[in-house]
Amino acid sequence: MSAITKGRTCPDWRRVAACVAVCLTAAAPAWAQVEAPQVAPRSDANLGVRGKFSLMAAYGLDLDVFGEVLSPAVGETPTRIAQIANQVAYPQVYVSTPRRQMVTVGFGVFQRRELIVHYSRTENAAEPFRVGEVATANGLRQLTATFTSYKDESIEGGLRHYFKATGPARKYVNLLFGRRKIEAISTALTGGTADTDFGTLRLYDSASVATAAVVFGVTYERGFVGIYIEAGVRWTQRLVRQDDDLRPHALELINNTGSRTFMPANIGIVFRR
């Protein structure tokens, strides 16, 4: 038995234990990487406009599409007959294209949507315009109308939807609805002589009317500042008629006008934080 025992090779357990310890130590970092993977930090760019405030300030033009300031009518009294033969559109009287100033404040409630509040104001300056004819016992004369200039301002609320809310260029659409305050409008009608002079006639009272718009635009932003351009369609409810001055001349129909539609075209700057 002793001979057999002496002929066997016995393992050195101390060396085996040392090798196992070295292998475990070398493998430990790899196991740690597998068990605790790195998580990428969340980027603010992925949030789009959510949780951010925006401020837009712009200057633009109101380009008329539909809408008249006078309607056709015939007014007959014992001493004269006045005729407005055709509709008179806003651009025929308010020749200078209105320049509008505006400010819009927004807050992002979703990645691509903002709730917005929009304020704007403008002044409309008129020029004399030949609107028809007036006949008296002394003959036929051309009838000229000189309208008063007026100011209007609006406050609206709505939604801005971005088709793409990340990157420097961001296309969007605004949906707006609110109220527009318009000053009273009068006109001086005259044929150039005493018997063809109607004096100054009130046409529309000062009033707050409904207004709505759909506007498409694009911003180009770097950091927290950028520029933007936009254009769209705006509708404004019909003005409030004032007939008291027209009734004695049988001209109540000349202010029977409808709503107004025009195209806003704006350019401005945007701040976003």
Structure tokens at 154: 């609006």
> Per residue in 116-165, pLDDT tens?
999 999 999 999 999 999 999 999 999 999 999 999 999 999 999 999 98
> Per residue in 56-78, pLDDT tens?
999 999 998 889 999 999 999 99
Q: pLDDT > 70: what percent of the chain?
A: 83
What CA–CA distance (Å, rounded) separates 213 from 100? Answer: 15
For residue 74, the model assigns a pLDDT of: 95
What CA–CA distance (Å, rounded) separates 117 from 193? Answer: 51
Q: Is the pLDDT at 1 greater than 80, yes or no? A: no
> Per residue in 229-238, pLDDT tens?
999 999 999 9
Structure tokens at 131: 């609107």
Structure tokens at 161: 């939807």
Q: Output the DSSP codes for 116-144.
A: EEEEEEEEE----EEEEEEEETTEEEEEE
CA distances from 85 to 77, 133, 151, 201 (A): 17, 8, 28, 18
Structure tokens at 253: 């129909």
Q: Which residue has the tokens 């006109």?
A: 187
Grade residue 28 by pLDDT with cuts at 50, 70 and 90. very low
State the SS3 of 223-258.
Answer: CCEEEEEEEEEEEECCCCECCCCCHHHCCHHHHCCC
Q: Is the pLDDT at 23 greater than 80, yes or no? A: no
Q: Is the pLDDT at 48 greater than 60, yes or no? A: yes
Cβ distance 117 to 129 under 8 Å? no
Report the CATH fold assignment for 46-272: Porin (2.40.160)
Contacts (Cβ under 8 Å, ≥6 apart) of 26: none
Grade residue 45 by pLDDT with cuts at 50, 70 and 90. low
For residue 65, the model assigns a pLDDT of: 82
> Per residue in 184-193, pLDDT tens?
999 999 999 9
Q: Is the pLDDT at 271 greater than 90, yes or no? A: yes
Structure tokens at 145: 């109308």
Grade residue 47 by pLDDT with cuts at 50, 70 and 90. confident
Q: Is the pLDDT at 6 greater than 80, yes or no? A: no
Cβ distance 221 to 164 under 8 Å? no
Domain regions of the chain by residue span: 2-35, 46-272
Dihedral (CA of 198, 203, 206, 212) sign:
negative
> Per residue in 196-231, pLDDT tens?
999 999 999 999 999 999 999 999 999 999 999 999
Q: pLDDT > 90: what percent of the chain?
A: 78
Tell me how far apart the 2 most distant CA atoms of the chain are, in Å.
157
